[in-house]
Structure formats: C-alpha cells, structure tokens
Amino acid sequence: MQVKKISYGLKKLTSAIKASHLAYAGLLVGQVVSQSAQAAPEGGVVVGGDGSITAQDLTTIIDQKTDLLAIDWDSFNLTEEELVRFLQPDSSSIVLNRILDQNPSTIRGAIESNGHVILANPRGVLFTETATVNVGAITAAGLDMDSSEFMSGNFSFQGENGSAGVVVNRGVINASSAVLVGKQVTNAASGLISAEIVSLAAADEAVLTFDADGMIGVKITKEVMENQLGVDSAVLNEGAIDGAQVLMEAKVSGDLFSSAVNNKGTVRARGIDTSGGKIRLFGGGAEVVNSGALDASGTYGGEVEIEGDSVEHRGVVSVRGDAGAGGSVRVLGDEVVVSGAIDARGIGGGGEILVGGDYQGKNAEIRNANKTTVAADAVIDASGIGNGDGGKVIVWADGGTHFAGVVRAESGELGGDGGFVETSGKVNLYLGEDSMFVSTLSHGRGETGEWLLDPGWLDIADSCSTNCISTAALEGALSSNNVTITVTDADTASGLAVVDDGDPATDYADGIRVSDNLDWNTTNALTLDSFSDVEIGNGVVITASDADLVVIAGGSFTSEGSVSVNSFSLNVGGNGADSTNSLGSVTATSGTVTGGTGLDVFTLSSADDSVVVDGDLQFTLGANIVFSAVEMLDTGSGTDIVTGADGAGWALKGAGQAESSGITFIGADELFAASAGLTGTAGDDSFVLTAIGDVVVDGLTFKNLSDVNGSTGNDTVDASNFVAGLTLTGTNKEISADTLLFSDIENGVASLLTGSSGADLFSIVADNTVDIAGIRVSGLNTVNADLGSDDVIASGPVTLTGNSGEASTAAIDFSGIDTVTAGSLIGSDNNDTFVITGPNAVTAYDIAFSGISSIDTKLGSDSVTGASGIDWVLTAGIDEAENSGITFTGVETLIADLAGLIGSASDENYTLEDNGDVVVSSLTFQSLTAVDAGGGSDTISLASNTNATLNGTDGEASIRGLDFSNIESVTSATLVGSDAGDRYLVTGADSIVANAIAFAGISSVTAGSGDDTATGLNGEDWSLNGSGGAVNNGITFANVETFVADAAGLVGTASDESYTLENDGDVVVGGLIFRSLTGVDAAGGSDTIALISLADATLNGTDGEASIRGLDFS
C-alpha cells in the first residue's frame, strides 16, 4: 500500500523544550525506587509490513523496512537499564506495537525512534519515573488497534470490555507529537511531556488524526463506558506539559468520574516564534476543572479554552502578550465557576476573555452558560500594558450570573483607551458588591471604556436584592467606567419566566428604575437602556454636572424627580408601541429627546410650548428662553407652535423632523411659514391637505405655505378632505389645490380632479385611480376633464351616463371627455344609440370609443348601426350579436349597413317580419341583405303567410326577398320550388322537407321547372286532384313530375283516368309518375289500365279488381 509521507522530525520548539527539561527529568528518575527487573519486550511477531526484531543484551532493536510495520508482542515491559530502539525508514514511518499481555505494560527504561511509535495495550501502559521516551512521535494507548486495519491506513482504537485501559506517565516524554489515549489518562506529578502537539484523551474509541505538517492529534469517537479502577478523573494532569498546542479531552458516560478533565499541574504552550500557543481542556459527561496553571503567554498571547458541561477554574490562566496583544481565554459550559486568575494583558492591547458566553450571548459560535459564577477570589485582567488599549471581558449566562470578583480592562499606564467589560445574566444578575470591582480606565489620555450590565430588569436603589445595583456601587463604578445598564425582555430572550412578586420594594421586573439619589463627579457617562420602561422615582435627584446621562426606553420614560447633567439624551417608544412620558425637571448644557414610531406623548414643564425662530440656529422658547447654536429640538407633547423666519423656507428631514434656518424641529404640532414654501425629503413624502388648506406631513402641520416641492422620492398629495379637490396645470408632476401649487409630485388623493385647459390623457390603473401628467391620483369619484381634447384609457368596463361627453369607469364619473379606450362598454338607462366606426370602435354620446370588445346596452330601447359591409354575427351567448369585433348584449335594434346576419352554432329561431326585419330572441335586425343561420338547428318563422322559394341548394330559401342559408326549418309559408329539380318529403300534417329544410304549415307546393320528386308520408296514399297534381296528407303538389309512395297506394278521381303500368312497376297517369305503390284505387269514372308490355292479370274474385305485376288495382 502507499502511505502518505508524514514528517515527525522534532521542531525547534520541541528541541528547546527538551534542553530545558532534561536535567529536571534526570532528577525525577533518580528519585524512583527501583523495583524488581522485568523482562524486555517478548514474543514479538511481525504481522504486517517488513521488519526485523533483534535483542542485544539490554537493547531491543526493531529494524523497520516499510512505511508501516505492525508487531504483535506477548509482552512489552522495560527495566530501567533496557532500551528499545526503532530504526525506521524516515520520520513519517509508523510502527504499531500491539501488546497481547494480560497485564499492563510497564516502561521503566528508554524508547527511541526517528518516526512514530504506537504502543497499544488495552490493559494499560505505565511510564515510570525512570522512563524516557525520545521519539519522532509517540502514541501510548490503553486501547487496542487492529493490525490489518492499521496496515490499511485506518488508525482507529477500540477499548476492551473489562480492561482498565489506563495510561499513566510518570517519566519524561520528548517528541514532535505526543498522544496519550485510554479509558483513563494521567500525567502524574513527576511526569514531563514535551512536544509541539500534546493530546491527552479519555475515550472508549478514538482515531488518530494528522494535520498538514504531520502533527498527530486524536479524535474521540465513543465516550468512556466504564471506570475499572474507580479513579476520580478521566484525564488528569498533575505534572508538566510543554508544547505549542496542548489538548486534554475526555468524553465519559454518566457519573463514572467526578471530573472528565482535571488539570492540577502546569501546562505551557508556546509557538515556534515564541508567540503563545494553544491550550484546550474539553470534557463531556463530567466536570472540567483547572486548579493548576495554563500558560499560553508569549510575544503575542495565545489561546486557552476550558469547556465542558460543568466547568470550574480555580487556578491560573495566562495568555499575556509580552510584545503584542494579549491572547484569548474562553471558559465555557452549561455551568461555569471562576475563582482563580485569568491574565490576558498585552503590550499591544488587552486580549479577549469570555466566561460563560460572548457579548449579550448573541454569538452562535460560542456556547452560552445557563449559570455563571465569578467568585470574590477571581481576578480577571485584560488590560493593556504600556500604550495598549484595554481588551474585552465577557461574563454571561442565559439564566443567572453571580458576579463578585475583580475585572480589569484598563489601558496601559502610558496611554491607550479603556476596554469593554460585560457582566450579565439574561434573566438574573447577582452582584457581590462587597468584593466586586470593575475598571475600564484609561491611564493615559485615552477614552474610558465601558462596563455593561444586562439582566432581565434592574433596580438602582440604596439597598435591594435580585437584579439590583446599589447607588453607592454604581457611583463607585462610574469613577472608573462608562456604565451601560441594558435590560432586555428575559421572557423572550431566554424562554425563562421572570417572576415578579408584585412588591416594588424587592424587585422591579419591568425595565429600569432609579429609586434613590445618584451623584457622581467624573465625566463618565451612564446609559440606561430598557426594552420596556425607565423610571426615575418621586423626588429622586440625579446629579453629574460633568457627565452625560443617556436614557433609552423601548416603552415609556417616567420621571417624578430631577436630572442635572452635562448632556441629557432620551429616546422613548423604541419598541414601536405608544408611550406616555413625563420629562420631569431636566437641567443640561445640551440634550435631545426623541420618540419612537408609535404615539409618544411628552409632558414638559409647560403643556403648550411656543417656539419662534429668530434666525439661523436661533430660536426662542416661550417668552424668554433663548437658544442659540442649536441644531435640533424635539418639542414633545402639548400643542407646540413653531413660526419660521420671514422668507425662510421649510425642509422636511424625515421621521417627523423639519428644518428651517438651520434648525431641525422634531414633533412640533404646527409650523407657520412666513412668505415661504416647503421642500420634501429625498424619500417618499405624503402631504395631506386639511379642509382649510393646511398641509400635514410626517406628523407636522404647516400653515400659510406658498408652495410645496416634493423633491425626489415618491411623493403624494392627499386632498381627500379638501372639498375643492385637485386641479391639473398642464405641467408634468404638477398639481394645485386652490392657490397652493404642488410640484415634483408623483401621487395624489382626491375625490374631485379637474383637468387642465389643454389636452389631458387619463389612464385608469385601478378603481378610483388614474395616471395623469406623471401623477397617480387615487380616491377619485369625479373627474372634470375641462377644456381641450381629453382622453381616457380605461382598464375595466366603461358605463355611459346618457349625457354627452360623460361616462363612468373604475368608480369615477368623467365629464368633458372626447375619446375613451376600453375593453367593454355599458349603456345607460336611456335609449342609447351606437354607431360602429371600425374594428372595435364605436361612437356614443359624442364620445369615440376604441378597443371595445363588448357592449352591454342595459336598460332603454337601444340601437346600434354596424360598420359598412360588415355582417352581424350571433354569438353563443343569449341575446348577443357581434360586429367589427364588438359583442353587443341587451341591444334591441341592430342595423346592418350593406351587410347580413350570420347565425351561431346553436339552434336559433328567426322571425321574419312583414317589413323585412329579422327578430332573433330579443334582437331585431334591420336592413339585412341576407341571413346565414350557421350551425345548429335553425328555424324561420313568418309573421304572416308568404311564399318561401327554394333556390336549389340544401338549407337555402328566399323569403320576402331575403336570402336565408343554413336553415333547417320554416313555418307559415307556401312553398315555391326552384328550377333545379327539388326533392320533397311529406313528414306529417302540413309538414314537408325540401332541400334539407323542414317546412311546417304547408298546404301546397308549386314546383319549379326542374325534374322534381315528392315522397309521401308513410302509409298515406297519394290522391289525384284532377288538376294535374297530387295530394298527400292534405298537401297539394303542382308541377311535380315524380311521386313516391311510402307503404301506400294511389287513389284516382271520380273522372275517367288512364293508368299506364310500366315494366318496373311505376304507374303513369295524366303525365304523372307514381312509384313504390302498394295499390291503385281508380275510384269513380271509367278508368283503364295500359301495360307497356304483356303481363298476366290476375282476378281476385271481386268486381273491378285485378292484380298485375304484383300491383293490386281496384
């Protein structure tokens, strides 16, 4: 197999570590009391790869020929004098020594190699005080590894049930990488491990890992399931570990161990460049404890991480930066206790220390504790050194935090800014004020840092309990910090319920409350930031003449006391709800008051305030309070009036702000213009006209304006309460309301819109809404297009009013319009007259409509004249007809202009009036040239009897000069045949079918000059009428040449007749041919029968009767 070449050559750091500790290692060995000698490694068998084993006196030499070599040993023990030397092809070579002994392996002697040596004994491996290991890499495992899997490149370890699996080092291990892995791992007090990467891992199953530089690590794949020896710690370090990266990790099941990882010794981590290295203690299933020293200091501070389900740090952690910045320390777990020291100071600035979580618990990559304790003995320092800035210290818990220690994030003595400290419990914060101390001071000329407290709520009082800071403690904190107290909704943020016992004396579970006097004399600022309310109690005095007070209330701010500070800033209503605020007495050199998005009501010292602008950046409040060089004023509640300077225009600034003469006003109720106008913002502005013509925008009311310029953005003029409505000027994006001119406007709202004197084009975009001159006007009921040629483009049906130039559409009544483009048109209740002028075009009431596809004429007696030469077409709908692409519904009279009518595919009944009109259902068609009944079964009814003339084509006939085609039946007519030779079929009383047309009410048929045939009704005899014709079922046929009987015979007249019997059975009489007769009754007279050729005549025994050629004569 091919194995990746991995170098285990000793790094610079390892070499340096070895040199510094060899003397110490010798002392340890010398202190060991020799025990009885044990045999050298025995029973070695190569089971994978190529190599040899040679024993020479006290030395065992393994000569490895392949990159991977696997050896099974019966036992592997070394006395103090014995040496095992592995000769390997290069530093990337690996040898697996799988020890089958039923006892632990005891190493008292020395192991040397230039590559990676793995010792695997599930019963355990012990390096005594006399043991020395000098190898490229060492893995000592109290677990087993399958040789064949190893040879395949799978370096997985498995525990053996019932075996202790303990790995103990009391000796000296020098390597590039060192891994001790087993069910329990100990580096004893005498133990020294020096390697660039050191891993101590407790696991039931694990896998060796290799980084890009060939450094060895270990990945735990299964937690420890048994503790055969009943030891307290799964991983225990009581000795010394030096490396660039040190990992102590354990995953255990249940309560097998008191601690998963326990460091009592000294761990130092240095990078190759003398920067701090990395130290990580991680445990699962039991506590992680550090009572020793973890040192990752260096030129630049390194990284130390202690993490587990439960973590306790009571030792010393250092990540100092001797030339650069301090390093990073993380103490993380579900429950965290710190009572020791953490040093992250640095020349280049303090480092970062996270205890229980990151800033406000918001970093998803950092584990948050539920409970965090920083005890009184704890000292946490992330200060800068020299000119360095202070660093960052976070103490956090999603539940409760107990803080009683010392935290510093100061600058260096020579300069720099203070750092940032947070001590927060998302729900509860308990402060041990007797011992706690926090400082973010700048010792040079920099800025003081910030101390953040972020519980679920907070009370500031002389004395209190949960979620409270005393006024004395806060005053002390403000001497060395800018202090920010932030309370968030703990119910929402953590899912934990905030218990409020209802007693304001014991807690304040609804924001921040200042219950007692507060006084500090530094320049450090105090910020009170609440998701809900902030309250200053009755008679409470806050005094800080040189400092700033910032109050941020998501809800309301209530002050029944007084504030005297250098600068005062207040924000309320941040959660968007309405807020009711009492400002109390405020004395400040400068200050701002800002409301939220809801209705924010302020109570000032005077309910109504009057502000008069005197000039640039100058205004007078009330009668005698003069403000100068002020850029912003929030007038608060009450009826506040601001009068601008003469000729000074107003400009909206957004968010309820307006500027004039360089001053921005917030929340003013009325702003008076003096010979000036108003300019909108670059955003979207909505200007609302009141009934008296004032302009309300963004909560501000402007009076006496000369004009309004919407500026950029999507701006609106709302004149829905202005009776006179809006008027177009003829200029794009310009509109007026009486004498007030609006420009750069994109939207308007009004019930009445008057057009300009020019040509206006109104485009309907929705109900009550039109686009005109670059402005979208909504809320319309009426549009008076006024003068000019005015057009309307409708998006829906248009309804006529019955008056000239008027129509309504989209709930808007238009007047004075000339043309309309629409899809459909609805008639008025009057008698409407429509004239089709072209495809989809029609005129009505002096309005030219285009794009019309349907017209519903509604009530009244309505008429429409079709386009010249364009037929009317019946549609599938009831009482509908189409012409030029327009479908008419409900129209009474439809006039054709040199055109006819085409029926639909449905059955239709056409009534032909005496005057030539054609009525179909409720539709009366006039001036038709022809009717094509189309598909279906169509009937022609006549208002009075008249001739229907066939034209020789099926389904066609001419009645009263009107040509019908594709008809199926005709009623109330006398039928006249064509000269083409017609076929008639008697179908019933007064009914025949001729040329595929069913005629009803027929009494006679006069055939044309062609060769015509008539077929009688089934079972009904033909009768000669003595006039050269024949009768069947009451219908008289004239000029017909051939008659066909249907299961019937022929009856003669009382006159003499001569019958000729043809050879084919036809009977000819009076020039008429009868066929398919069943018999002939010659009736009265002297009748004769002539035969074309001789045939037998058979008497049937009755006078005057005989049968000839099968035909009975009587």
Assess whether 23 and 138 both reside in one domain: yes
State how far the Cα of 225 lies from the Cα of 237, in Å rounded to an integer. Answer: 21
Give residues with Cβ within 8 angstroms of 546, minimum separation 6: 521, 522, 523, 566
By C-alpha distance, which of 245, 295, 290, 234 is closest to 267? 295
Mean pLDDT within 734-747: 92
State how far the Cα of 750 lies from the Cα of 818, in Å rounded to an integer. Answer: 23
Mean pLDDT within 332-352: 98
Q: Residue 348: what pLDDT? A: 95
Assess whether 886 and 793 both reside in one domain: no
Higher pLDDT, 683 or 182: 182
Per-residue confidence band for 256, with pLDDT thresholds at 50, 70 and 90: confident
Q: Residue 509: what pLDDT? A: 56
State how far the Cα of 285 lies from the Cα of 487, in Å rounded to an integer. Answer: 34
Give residues with Cβ within 8 angstroms of 503, minimum separation 6: none
Domain count for the chain, please give it. Answer: 5
Higher pLDDT, 952 or 166: 166
State how far the Cα of 982 lies from the Cα of 947, in Å rounded to an integer. Answer: 16
Q: Residue 872: what pLDDT? A: 92
Structure tokens given for 652: 């909206």
State how far the Cα of 934 lies from the Cα of 874, in Å rounded to an integer. Answer: 9
pLDDT at residue 212 is higher than 80: no
Q: What is the side-by-side order of every strand in the sheet holding 468-470?
A: 468-470, 458-461, 511-514, 533-536, 557-559, 579-582, 600-603
Q: How much is the mean pLDDT over the chain?
A: 87
Assess whether 773 and 806 both reside in one domain: yes
Determine contact, residues 910/940, Cβ cutoff 8 Å. yes
pLDDT at residue 17 is higher than 80: no
Local structure of residue 522 (DSSP, 8 states): S
Tens of pLDDT, residue by residue over 492-533, are 333 333 444 454 444 455 699 999 999 999 999 999 999 999
| 1050 inside domain | yes
Tens of pLDDT, residue by residue over 22-55, are 333 333 333 333 333 357 899 999 999 999 999 9
Local structure of residue 33 (DSSP, 8 states): P
Assess whether 641 and 767 both reside in one domain: no
Assess whether 164 and 49 both reside in one domain: yes
Tens of pLDDT, residue by residue over 54-99, are 998 999 999 999 999 999 999 999 999 999 999 999 999 999 999 9
| 679 inside domain | yes
State how far the Cα of 841 lies from the Cα of 852, in Å rounded to an integer. Answer: 6
State how far the Cα of 808 lies from the Cα of 827, in Å rounded to an integer. Answer: 11
3-state secondary structure of 491: helix
Mean pLDDT within 316-331: 97
| 427 inside domain | no
Determine contact, residues 455/429, Cβ cutoff 8 Å. yes
pLDDT at residue 539 is higher than 60: yes
Specify the DSSP element, H or E, that contains 28: helix 12-30
Q: Are strands 1088-1091 and 1058-1061 parallel, antiparallel or unpaired?
A: parallel
Q: How many residues does the structure list for the chain? A: 1114
Assess whether 863 and 749 both reside in one domain: no
Local structure of residue 359 (DSSP, 8 states): G
User: Which phi and psi angles does 598 have, rounded to 5°?
Assistant: -85, -165
pLDDT at residue 2 is higher than 60: no
Determine contact, residues 346/326, Cβ cutoff 8 Å. yes
Assess whether 1045 and 1074 both reside in one domain: yes
By C-alpha distance, which of 203, 225, 104, 90 is closest to 156? 203
By C-alpha distance, which of 115, 143, 139, 229 is closest to 193? 139
Classify the phi-psi angles of 433: left when phi > 0, otherwise alpha if psi is within -120 to 50, otherwise beta.
alpha
Q: Last residue of some domain: 797, 821, 845?
A: 821
| 340 inside domain | no
Q: What CATH number did the domain enclosing 129 receive?
A: 2.160.20.10
Q: Residue 572: what pLDDT? A: 84
pLDDT at residue 200 is higher than 50: yes
Determine contact, residues 563/520, Cβ cutoff 8 Å. no
Determine contact, residues 1095/1108, Cβ cutoff 8 Å. yes
| Residue bearing tokens 């040898």 | 95
Higher pLDDT, 386 or 603: 386
State how far the Cα of 910 lies from the Cα of 923, in Å rounded to an integer. Answer: 10
Distance of CA 535 to the CA centre of its chain: 38
Say how many C-beta atoms besides its own lie within 10 A of residue 1073's C-beta: 16
State how far the Cα of 636 lies from the Cα of 614, in Å rounded to an integer. Answer: 20
End-to-end CA distance of the chain: 124
3-state secondary structure of 678: strand
The burial of 1, by beta-carbon neighbours within 10 Å (0-12 exposed, 13-18 middle, 19 or more buried), is given as: exposed
Assess whether 69 and 214 both reside in one domain: yes
Local structure of residue 204 (DSSP, 8 states): S
Assess whether 836 and 817 both reside in one domain: no
Least reliable range by pLDDT among 595-609, 849-863, 975-989:
595-609
Determine contact, residues 488/426, Cβ cutoff 8 Å. yes
Q: Residue 609: what pLDDT? A: 57
Q: Which domain holds residue 863?
A: 823-936
| 36 inside domain | yes
Per-residue confidence band for 214, with pLDDT thresholds at 50, 70 and 90: low
CA R_g for the chain: 55
How would you write 840-887 as a 3-class SS string?
Answer: CEEEECCEEEECCCEEECCCCCCEEECCCCCCEEECCCCCEEEECCEE
Mean pLDDT within 308-313: 97
Does the pTM of the predicted model rise above 0.75?
Answer: no
Classify the phi-psi angles of 564: left when phi > 0, otherwise alpha if psi is within -120 to 50, otherwise beta.
beta
| 388 inside domain | no
| 540 inside domain | no
Per-residue confidence band for 648, with pLDDT thresholds at 50, 70 and 90: confident
Say how many C-beta atoms besides its own lie within 10 A of residue 204's C-beta: 23
Determine contact, residues 722/728, Cβ cutoff 8 Å. no
| 446 inside domain | no
State how far the Cα of 511 lies from the Cα of 513, in Å rounded to an integer. Answer: 7
Assess whether 83 and 14 both reside in one domain: yes
DSSP secondary structure, 747-798, as one string: EEE-SEEE--SS--EEEEEETTEEEETTEEEES-SEEE--SS--EEE-SS-E
Assess whether 115 and 175 both reside in one domain: yes
pLDDT at residue 332 is higher than 60: yes
By C-alpha distance, which of 797, 808, 825 is closest to 890? 825
Q: Residue 756: what pLDDT? A: 87
Per-residue confidence band for 19, with pLDDT thresholds at 50, 70 and 90: very low
Mean pLDDT within 652-661: 85
Specify the DSSP element, H or E, that contains 1024: strand 1022-1024
pLDDT at residue 113 is higher than 50: yes
Q: Residue 600: what pLDDT? A: 63
* % of the chain exceeding 90 in pLDDT: 58
State how far the Cα of 317 lies from the Cα of 381, in Å rounded to an integer. Answer: 10
State how far the Cα of 55 lies from the Cα of 84, in Å rounded to an integer. Answer: 9
Assess whether 29 and 107 both reside in one domain: yes
Per-residue confidence band for 612, with pLDDT thresholds at 50, 70 and 90: low
The dihedral sign for the CA sequence 886, 890, 891, 897? positive
Tens of pLDDT, residue by residue over 375-414, are 999 999 999 999 999 999 999 999 999 999 999 999 999 9
